[in-house]
Structure 1
Amino acid sequence: MSQEPQSPSRQGRPSMTASMRSSSFLREHQQYRPPSKPENHYGIDTVVEDLQATSVSPPREISPFKGIPSAENPPRIVDGQSHELSHPNCTPLPGASTNRLIATLFYKSTNPRVSNAIPSPQRNPSPKGSGQSPSLRAADSDLPPTMAPTSKLDDFPLEPPATEPEPLDHLYGANVSPMCIASFLHLMSTFPLPAGSTDLHSSHRCLKIDQSHQEHHPTVVELTLSPAPASDYLPLKDLRKHELIYRFEREWNVDVALRADTLWRRYPRLVVFDMDSTLITQEVIDLLAATIKDPPDLAARVADITHRAMMGELEFDSAFRERVKLLAGLPGTLFNELRPVLDVTNGVRPLIKALKRLGVKTAVLSGGFLPLTSWLAGELGIDYAHANEVVIDEQTGKLTGEVKGRIVGKERKRELLIEIAEKEGIALEQVVAVGDGANDLLMMEAAGLGVAWNAKPMVQMEASSRLNGDSLLDLLHLFGFTEEEVRQLSA
């Protein structure tokens, strides 16, 4: 009987030897490959080394790389080589025009990607009557409150969204990491380029670093892409809302601001702000309602109307009149008493100071009350202030529940923005509008740049840019200012 051949003895555990490794982390781990690039393209140093053992026909001497020219190795011109200082991201070729896209990545270090709106499908929701507070139960969900249409599962129009993948910043660094940049460039390379363009060029620079961390990781990075994706296939307005961009933001816990690289991007001349939940952290009408103890549920009723109006579920004008009627009987002097209670948003004071040093005009267009808006504008040094004027009974000195003149709603805010720009002789391309509610969308659309600041879901999706941080001073990074320049302007 023939015996079966014995299997060869098991070899040791496979491992990479030094000769099998390259200097490329990305290439070894297969995380990212540039499109349409040869696999053996490592860089100029590797190319020069490989040429040493290459036969050239006709034979010619190949000088090794000498580094910086010196007296012993002076620079010399070699036929067939071309050294250029121009680059597609620097200046276009004669007869061509600039077609660059600026992408600013803001890492949300103070806003970690956890869900606190809809219970996660992967976790069991807290049973009713468990005694857990709503805020604790909210932490068991995978969507932030600004990205879901409601905070109540029963009111959700469809089934809860599927759980998203593990945040990649947990794996590759809680910052705008090199892997984050590589992933973004790979994403942008999937969009079609304009006709005649064959390659996507990019450059980037760090605008802000994490000062609290010893390694000083970047938290705001600006990328310049040339050319921009084909506008006839995907206009910039639609590119900002693209599903892949949204998914990238969720995976890497960043906000991506996309802007065309124009002259006006770097030189704004008018910045217009909303007041409630933008310049200040509160809603003034809620503060007023909280002072009324009879009936006891008035503050909750006013807050509910405010929330629905900011979400875009109610028309702002009618909602505002309804809330003011609930305030009838309050003393007119209450506005003065609320001044010390106002909490100015972090970064607002140095931001206004920086804008003034740049010669930029500022305005606050509020759907709130003129007495408080005018006072706050004077305190911050804002040039223009417009808000609603409530009627005060001359005999009793109390609010009548009526509003004088037109409501400063979404249409009026847009009109005021255009009026101020025309008065100052400023083109709308050089106007920036910042707000958080649905009544700010029209003025954002009229401005050259609309910025949603910690905004409601619909505003986040419709605004041309969004910031979800802890300091409004980050607005200056959208203009291309570095952290050092921001400190100089706000000092």
Structure 2
Amino acid sequence: MHLIIQGLDVGNYDLRALAKLAGADEIEKVSGQAFRLKNIQQQDGISDYCEETQLDYAVVEPDLNLTDFKLIAMDMDSTLLAIESIDEIADIHHTKQQVAEITLKTMRGEISFEESLTQRTALLRGVHIDALQKVYEERMRLSPGAEIMLKKAKTAGLKTMVISGGFTFFTDRIKEKLQLDFATANTFEVQENRLTGKVLGKILGREGKAEALSNVCDKLGISRSQVIAIGDGANDLDMLAAAGVSIAYHAKPVVQQQATFSLNHVGLDGVINLFNQ
């Protein structure tokens, strides 16, 4: 097994200490902020050391190759994007505090996503469609490393997909901007250019995200084991469970406990560093 160490500032002292702790026989530089400690002998103490030094770590199989995968699927808000889009709409509508409180409860798994989205969308009743465009143009920010991750994934032959419990207003634009292959999300009901406070059709929630992933796998003729999925909240758990490799990105504890790997300090480009390229 190999140990991948990543961080915003990985020092030689930490690398040597971790190599000794893990019984690694070689330290290999993967990128400016990522290193591979090869052929480790044990894992005890690694988690505590990395938590104390704010480093991300992952114990990986030596033959974990990026080119063995065919699809990378990402949650949108607080994963591919560094914002919660619905919270930003609510900020313009002066209901951000109420919406953010519901969002947080959902991310922690305290209420169902369907109930949460219904409540949050109701608080946006009356918002003009121009406000959504304003959020997209002025507040939409990609998570650090997102474009690097996508470029390298595409170069390796992977298809790209965003699966969001948010809304198609944003996923459609992001899909075009980043040239993603697939995008799935919920749809606002709009009347006379204003949000009615309702969601059209069946809400795409926890189960729906996994179903959307499955449908794309069937369309591409690939197995679930050929999928890398990335998410941060309880609503992503079924989607993550349906993938061959799941990655908790700056995620809630319940997600980190169930994901294959967790990234808490580096950006999305850290996803690529987990694999042989």
Specify the alignment match of 2:187 in structure 1: 389
Contact preservation (8 Å) 2:67, 2:156 = no
Q: Are 2:67 and 1:300 aligned?
A: no
String of CA shifts for 1:397-439, please: whole Å, max 9, x gaps.
2111111122121111111111111211122222100111111
Contact preservation (8 Å) 2:114, 2:205 = yes
String of CA shifts for 1:277-332, please: whole Å, max 9, x gaps.
11111101101110114xxxx21111111111112122111111110011111113
Give runs of aligned pairs for residues 187-202 of structure 1, distance below 5 A. none
Q: Are 2:24 and 1:183 aligned?
A: no
Contact preservation (8 Å) 2:63, 2:276 = no
Which one of 249, 266, 270 corresponds to residue 474 of structure 1?
A: 270
**CA–CA separation in structure 1 for the residues paired with 2:242 and 2:225:** 9
**CA–CA separation in structure 2 for the residues paired with 1:415 and 1:248:** 38
Which one of 110, 116, 119 corresponds to residue 313 of structure 1?
A: 110
What amino acid does structure 1 have at the position aligned with 2:202?
A: R
Contact preservation (8 Å) 1:208, 1:221 = no
Shift of 1:261: 4.1
| Higher fraction of helix | 2
1:400 counterpart SS class? strand
**CA–CA separation in structure 1 for the residues paired with 2:226 and 2:49:** 29
Contact preservation (8 Å) 1:207, 1:477 = yes
1:333 counterpart SS class? helix
What amino acid does structure 2 have at the position aligned with 1:104?
A: I
Give runs of aligned pairs for residues 265-304 of structure 1, distance below 5 A. 267-293=68-94, 298-304=95-101
Which one of 157, 160, 183 corresponds to residue 362 of structure 1?
A: 160
RMSD: 2.3
1:406 counterpart SS class? coil
**CA–CA separation in structure 1 for the residues paired with 2:40 and 2:266:** 28
Give runs of aligned pairs for residues 155-174 of structure 1, distance below 5 A. 173=11
String of CA shifts for 1:368-404, please: whole Å, max 9, x gaps.
11011111111001100001001112xx321111111
Larger mean Cα displacement after TM superposition, 466-475 or 260-269: 260-269
Shift of 1:248: 3.4
Specify the alignment match of 1:331 in structure 2: 128
**CA–CA separation in structure 2 for the residues paired with 1:206 and 1:322:** 48
Query: Are the structure 2 counterparts of residues 175 and 329 from structure 1 closer, same or farther at C-alpha, using a change threshold of 3 Å?
Result: farther
String of CA shifts for 1:55-90, please: whole Å, max 9, x gaps.
xxxxxxxxxxxxxxxxxxxxxxxxxxxxxxxxxxxx
Contact preservation (8 Å) 1:105, 1:176 = no
What amino acid does structure 1 have at the position aligned with 2:20?
A: A
Q: Are 2:39 and 1:224 aligned?
A: yes
What amino acid does structure 1 have at the position aligned with 2:109?
A: G
1:177 counterpart SS class? helix
- With normalisation by structure 2, the TM-score equals 0.90
Which one of 102, 106, 116 corresponds to residue 2 of structure 2?
A: 102
Specify the alignment match of 2:227 in structure 1: 431
Q: Are 2:260 and 1:422 aligned?
A: no
Q: Runs of 5+ in structure 1 lacking a partner?
A: 1-100, 110-168, 186-200, 211-218, 230-238, 482-491
Q: Are 2:144 and 1:346 aligned?
A: yes
String of CA shifts for 1:223-277, please: whole Å, max 9, x gaps.
2347xx8xxxxxxxxx8xxx85532332443222123344666522100011101
Which one of 219, 231, 248 corresponds to residue 452 of structure 1?
A: 248
Shift of 1:179: 1.8
Contact preservation (8 Å) 1:207, 1:222 = no
Contact preservation (8 Å) 2:165, 2:186 = yes
What amino acid does structure 1 have at the position aligned with 2:79?
A: T
Give runs of aligned pairs for residues 144-155 of structure 1, distance below 5 A. none
Specify the alignment match of 1:123 in structure 2: none
**CA–CA separation in structure 1 for the residues paired with 2:183 and 2:255:** 23
2:173 counterpart SS class? helix
Decide which structure has the larger Cα Rg and report it. 1
1:479 counterpart SS class? coil
- With normalisation by structure 1, the TM-score equals 0.53
Shift of 1:335: 2.1
Query: Are the structure 2 counterparts of residues 264 and 442 from structure 1 closer, same or farther at C-alpha, using a change threshold of 3 Å?
Result: farther
Q: Are 2:31 and 1:208 aligned?
A: yes
**CA–CA separation in structure 2 for the residues paired with 1:422 and 1:222:** 37
Q: Are 2:54 and 1:250 aligned?
A: no
Contact preservation (8 Å) 1:267, 1:479 = no
Shift of 1:346: 1.8
Query: Are the structure 2 counterparts of residues 250 and 318 from structure 1 closer, same or farther at C-alpha, using a change threshold of 3 Å?
Result: same
Query: Are the structure 2 counterparts of residues 281 and 434 from structure 1 closer, same or farther at C-alpha, using a change threshold of 3 Å?
Result: same
What amino acid does structure 2 have at the position aligned with 1:205?
A: E
What amino acid does structure 2 have at the position aligned with 1:431?
A: V
Identity %: 31
| Higher fraction of strand | 2
Query: Are the structure 2 counterparts of residues 353 and 435 from structure 1 closer, same or farther at C-alpha, using a change threshold of 3 Å?
Result: same
